[in-house]
């Protein structure tokens, strides 16, 4: 293998695949990035067995030569050192040559680097799952669906299935669900052309989907998703992102969400968020995060929190609309703020069926998102 | 005490004094910020006994009313909660009133906060050291002198005196010295009007001086420094910053710096820095940080590093001037990079007296700074 390649392009591809490198792996070959050179370009691959990422650098881009290929070939290079040294090379062009025993010579400007490479034959082969069912989604929509649900996953490894986001596709509706048993986030969207496809109990680690989000470019482009038996493949422009499906059955969450409400409020998202944030500051010092919401006789609501050591925070807030019974309820303000942060709508519905029943939050301009928070059972 | 005050001004003063609040203090009153209201304005004070900071908010600023004083008085408020809630209050004006038992009522827009205050009589009184010797220095110069020496202090609490920066003033020359026994940084400057003042063995914690640096405004203003027996007071525009002088005798470092050199090189600071940074990346993986510098027969120098596991980095660098004997020396590249980061001069002198003797670095445009790094004793 012998090439010269533009630093920026190589660097960008490295940044993409390096998200799949685990620093804790015990398998030496997986501490490396695999480079494969053909006459079409360079393919980089990294894997931690749960996630595998592949990024392709074409030899030419808009008729500019990106990679000059003297000799195809392949090698596996130590990821951590490779990632950092490439970023810091002095010239915009980099020469790479693999010699006997995978010794790799890299030069750029006055810098000369010799790297101990590994045999690419030892690197795991990625699964071929192209033949499976494929759906297509806008990159922005996928990123939003992840952002608006991933915060509700469980971080406890004792229930691994809850560290994932549940995917359900039926009658053209694609739905994400995440819960840690104290709160629940759901977000659905219609996907054109998927009316004939159905899948359920596809659960993908929330952490993995957050990593994927970082790779999806900001320009709104299409992402193809291939769903196989135990793997999902995301196909972006020049990046392939493989991840495994979590084992186990996701719990049925449909009965958690109440279907009728006793109290319904429409409020300004930003104003509610800021008032709860102030009460949260006090509740955090008490290490309980308990904040109280109560409807007022003269209209409006009161947000409050108190601490025997520090004092009290209290605030009245107008409501845009009020339906139903008066109410007083306590909840984890951190959970509430997490929801308010991902609601992009200016107004939201907050609904209750009683002081011991789940609190529902829903953006006013999007009935396909629904958030549930369990209240605290307090004595006053 | 009863006032209304502009949020921005209160917030700025809080940010200054909050640097003196320790989260680990066992003295309850020191977890608070003291507010003292007179008809002239509001004084905030915080202290962790090592550092005390006082910030004054005048009632009027450029004929704008900043504080409206209904009733003077004072109170101590819980720092952490106070700092954060003030930042997040909804209106630009804040009302504060202290009632019975130091209960403090704060309101801003729709938000009402009740805080459990403490008795200001319990708060330690700051020492009166105004009568002592005072020197005056430009804020920018003081910040630079701190930045260019503080990185060389020891972080080991076993030799507390070396966690400080040594100050020496004699014949109008003000000099900072810091060392952790492996490296040494010195920076001196002339201070007008100090010809008659002499002090030595004034040692101030490097950490404290770094905190002070953050408070000194970017507009170049004068800082008065009052030096008493065991305390130093920095007087900025509206901030008083007190710190104690470290106990003990600072070691004599004068003999560490060689007076004659066998090899002298003038090099480009940026190019040397980048080349060492690349070699450092490899040496860091070996956990030794060892990088080698050697003069080349054909002129110039070579920077290199090698690792049995990963490979080699090698780079030739031109020198602007070369005097003396050929040389080959190994050093801790992290220490060298720390020095190169604070040298603002485009070119620097790097001088040697042998492969076992200290390496000297000195900015070309500033003979008042000198940096020493001890070499590694390696076999090759």
Q: For residue range B247-262, list pLDDT tens digits in order.
A: 999 999 988 888 899 9
Q: Which of A85, A105, A89, A108 is nearest to A97 (CA)?
A: A105
| Of A67, A63, A71, A72, the residue nearest A4 (C-alpha) | A67
Residue pair A291/A276 in contact by the 8 Å Cβ criterion: yes
Cα pseudo-dihedral A188, A189, A195, A200, rounded to 10 = -30
Establish if B324 touches chain A: CB-CB under 8 angstroms.
no
* Mean pLDDT, rounded, for B79-106: 97
Predicted confidence (pLDDT) at residue B379 exceeds the cutoff of 80: no
- Domains, chain A, with CATH or none: 2-122 (3.10.150.10), 133-244 (3.10.150.10), 263-373 (3.70.10.10)
What confidence tens digit (pLDDT) does each residue in B205-256 have? 999 999 999 999 888 899 999 999 899 999 999 999 999 999 999 999 988 8
Q: Does A7 touch chain B (CB under 8 A)?
A: no
Inter-chain residue contact B278 with A111, CB threshold 8 Å? yes
**Mean per-residue pLDDT of chain B:** 94
Q: Please write the tens of the pLDDT for every residue from B39-89.
A: 999 999 999 989 999 999 999 999 999 999 999 999 999 999 999 999 999
Is A296 an 8 Å CB contact of chain B? no
Cβ-based burial of A97 (10 A; exposed 0-12, middle 13-18, buried ≥19): middle
Percentage of chain B lying above the pLDDT 70 cut = 99
A285 and B81 in contact by Cβ < 8 A? yes
Q: What is the mean pLDDT of residues B266-271?
A: 98
Whether residue A114 and residue B85 make contact (CB cut-off 8 A), yes or no, is: no
Lowest-pLDDT range of A94-98, A271-275, A284-288, B13-17:
A284-288
Q: Is A311 on the interface with B (CB under 8 A)?
A: yes
CB contact, 8 Å: B315 with chain A?
A: yes
For residue A17, the surrounding DSSP H or E stretch is helix A7-17
Q: How confident is the model at residue A379 (pLDDT cuts 50, 70, 90)?
A: low
C-alpha–C-alpha distance, residues B110 and A228, integer Å = 54
Tell me how far apart the alpha carbons of residues A151 and A133 are, in angstroms, rounded to a whole number. Answer: 28
pLDDT per position as a tens digit, A238-255: 999 999 999 999 999 988
Measured between CA atoms, how close is A11 to chain B, in angstroms? 16
How many beta-carbon contacts under 8 Å exist across A and B?
Answer: 99
When CB atoms are compared, the residue of B104, B278, B314 closest to A85 is B278
| CB-count burial class (<10 Å; 0-12, 13-18, 19+) for B356 | exposed
Cα–Cα distance for residue pair A229/A199, rounded to 1 Å = 11
A282 touches chain B (CB under 8 A): yes
Q: Quick check: A113 and B310 CB within 8 A?
A: no
**Predicted pLDDT of residue A377:** 76
List CB contacts (< 8 A) between B89 and chain A. Answer: 278
User: Is residue A131 predicted with pLDDT exceeding 90?
Assistant: no
> CA geometry: angle at A172 spanning A167 and A176, to 5°?
20
B13-38 tens-digit pLDDT: 999 999 999 778 888 899 999 999 99
Q: Which residue of A has its CA nearest to B103?
A: A311
What is the pLDDT at residue A258? 86
Which of A115, A277, A315 has the CB atom closest to B310's CB atom? A115
In the predicted structure, residue B110 carries a pLDDT above the cut 90: yes
What's the pLDDT at B287? 86
B337 contacts B280 by C-beta, under 8 angstroms = yes
Q: What is the number of alpha carbons within 13 Å of residue B317 lying toward its C-beta? A: 29
- pLDDT digit string (tens) for B286-318? 888 999 999 999 999 999 999 988 999 999 999
Closest chain B residue by Cα to residue A271: B90
Name which of A1, A286, A205, A204 is nearest A119 in CA terms.
A1
C-alpha separations of B154 from A64, B113, B207, B210, B270 in Å: 52, 44, 11, 14, 26
Instruction: Indicate the pLDDT class of residue B378, thresholds 50, 70 and 90.
Output: low
Give the whole-number percent of chain A exceeding pLDDT 70.
Answer: 99
Which has more pLDDT, B287 or A153? A153
Q: Is A323 an interface residue toward B (CB < 8 Å)?
A: no
- What's the longest Cα–Cα distance across chain B? 84
pLDDT at A378: 66
Measure CB to CB from residue B90 to each of A81, A274, A313 and give the nearest one.
A274
Q: Which of A25-29, A193-197, B344-348 has the lowest mean pLDDT?
A: A25-29
Mutation target vs A (from B81, B86, B87, B89; most A CBs, 10 A cutoff)? B81
pLDDT at A269 over 70: yes
For residue A277, which residues of chain B lie inside 8 Å, CB to CB?
88
pLDDT greater than 90 at residue B111? yes
Calculate mean pLDDT across residues A335-358: 95
What's the pLDDT band for A130 if we cut at 50, 70, 90?
A: confident
Which own/partner pairs from B89-94 qualify as long-range (CB within 8 Å, at least 24 positions apart)? B89/A278, B89/B7, B90/A274, B91/B7, B92/B6, B92/B7, B92/B8, B93/B4, B93/B5, B93/B6, B93/B7, B94/B4, B94/B5, B94/B6, B94/B7, B94/B10
Condensed to tens digits (0 to 9), the pLDDT of residues B117-161 reads: 999 999 999 989 988 899 999 999 999 999 999 999 999 989 999
Question: Strand A32-38 to strand A239-244: parallel, antiparallel, or no bridges (unpaired)?
Answer: unpaired
Confidence band for B272, pLDDT divided at 50, 70 and 90: very high
Mean predicted lDDT score pLDDT of chain A: 94
């Amino acid at each position: 293998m012998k090439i010269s390649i533009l630093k920026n392009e190589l660097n960008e591809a490295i940044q993409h695949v390096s998200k799949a490198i685990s620093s804790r792996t015990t398998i030496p070959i997986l501490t490396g990035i695999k480079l494969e050179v053909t006459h079409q370009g360079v393919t980089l691959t990294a894997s931690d067995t749960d996630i595998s990422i592949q990024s392709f650098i074409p030899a030419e881009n808009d008729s500019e030569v990106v990679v000059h290929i003297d000799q195809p070939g392949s090698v596996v290079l130590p990821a951590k050192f490779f990632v950092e040294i490439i970023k810091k090379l002095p010239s915009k062009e980099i020469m790479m040559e693999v010699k006997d025993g995978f010794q790799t010579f890299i030069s750029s400007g006055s810098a000369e680097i010799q790297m101990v490479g590994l045999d690419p034959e030892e690197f795991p082969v990625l699964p071929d799952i192209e033949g499976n069912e494929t759906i297509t989604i806008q990159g922005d929509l996928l990123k939003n669906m992840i952002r608006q649900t991933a915060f509700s996953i469980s971080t406890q490894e004792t229930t691994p299935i809850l560290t994932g986001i549940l995917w359900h596709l039926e009658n053209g509706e694609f739905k994400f669900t995440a819960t840690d048993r104290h709160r629940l986030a759901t977000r659905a969207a219609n996907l054109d052309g998927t009316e004939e496809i159905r899948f359920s109990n596809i659960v993908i680690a929330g952490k993995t989907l957050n990593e994927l989000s970082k790779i999806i470019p900001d320009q709104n482009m299409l992402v193809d998703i291939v769903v196989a038996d135990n793997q999902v493949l995301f196909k972006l422009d020049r990046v392939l992102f493989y991840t495994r499906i979590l084992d186990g059955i996701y719990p049925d969450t449909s009965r958690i969400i109440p279907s009728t409400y006793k109290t319904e409020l429409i409020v300004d998202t930003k104003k509610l968020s800021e008032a709860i944030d102030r009460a949260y500051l006090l509740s955090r010092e008490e290490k309980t995060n308990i904040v109280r919401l109560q409807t007022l006789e003269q209209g409006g609501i009161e947000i409050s929190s108190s601490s025997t050591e520090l004092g009290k925070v209290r605030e009245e807030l107008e409501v845009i609309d009020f339906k139903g019974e008066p109410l007083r309820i306590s909840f984890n303000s951190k959970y509430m703020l997490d929801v308010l942060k991902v609601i992009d709508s200016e107004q939201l519905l907050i609904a209750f069926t009683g002081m011991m029943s789940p609190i529902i939050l829903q953006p006013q301009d999007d009935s396909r998102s629904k958030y549930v928070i369990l209240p605290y059972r307090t004595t006053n």
